[in-house]
Amino acid sequence: MPFLRPLGMLLAVLILGGCANAAPHNADALWQLISQKCVPGMAQKGEPAPCQSVDVKAGFVTLKDRRGVLQYLVMPTTKITGMESPLLLKASTPHFFALAWQQRQLASQHYGHKVPDRDLSLAINSAYGRSQNQLHVHISCLRPALRQQLDALAPGLGRQWQSQSLMGHPYLLRTLSPNELGQQSVFMHLAEEVPGAKGEMGRYGMAMATLPDGQLLLMATRAGSGGSQGSAEEIQDHDCAIVKG
């Protein structure tokens, strides 16, 4: 089949280089991997490789990103480009942040020891701060300095979005209980609760981490605000110094 050789080269780049360096001339590289390798392989042979897992019923795959010690990606099995997709605001669409948080044990399994939840985070970049046109939620370590900042901010945070500066960029922060994470998509929280966000979802990147009291913290940054490209992945440290130290 004529596409096999180019796809094989593509897979080598993806697996060896990680998604951030994956075939920059081909913004559909991740989607091709999912649709031409992972999902068909699972359906035909029960083999999800190069993905770690494929769950068609739940609507997602997991992939170990070689860029980073413990970084994994959670991605839809269907074509959803990213934050700007209207599919993310449909009730029938899987809650990809909730699914990604459920998969955080992959980091511990890969590391060989329990990685505390407080050391982990989720992130998705805006349409202006990403390299791939397939929605992918990054599971990776939180930056140690940001962990300290969030712990310090925690007593003043609540269920109403509030402005804070993180990583030198403006962010909106909102707490969320673990139960609420599974009840409503984080994208819906942003679209419905932040004035004007619904009409420009593609400008936003989102991230999530834990707080000392067990609550979850949503973080949203808008491309064009304070020099930000909406790359919420900036809150993550793919070298995982927080675990090593």
pLDDT at 19: 46
**Is pLDDT of 14 > 50?**
no
The rounded distance, in Å, linking the Cα atoms of 174 and 207 is: 11
Could you write out the DSSP letters of every residue in 99-112?
HHHHTTHHHHHHHT
Q: What angle do CA 166, 215, 163 make, to 5 degrees?
A: 30
Inter-residue contact 173 to 211 (CB < 8 Å): no
What domains can be seen in the chain, in order of their start residue?
59-243 (3.30.428.30)
**pLDDT range class, residue 25, cuts 50, 70, 90:** low
Region 93-114: mean pLDDT is 97
Q: What is the pLDDT of residues 156-204, one digit of tens each?
A: 999 999 999 999 999 999 999 999 999 999 999 999 999 999 999 999 9
Q: Which residues are paired to 218 by β-bridges?
A: 174, 208
The rounded distance, in Å, linking the Cα atoms of 205 and 114 is: 28
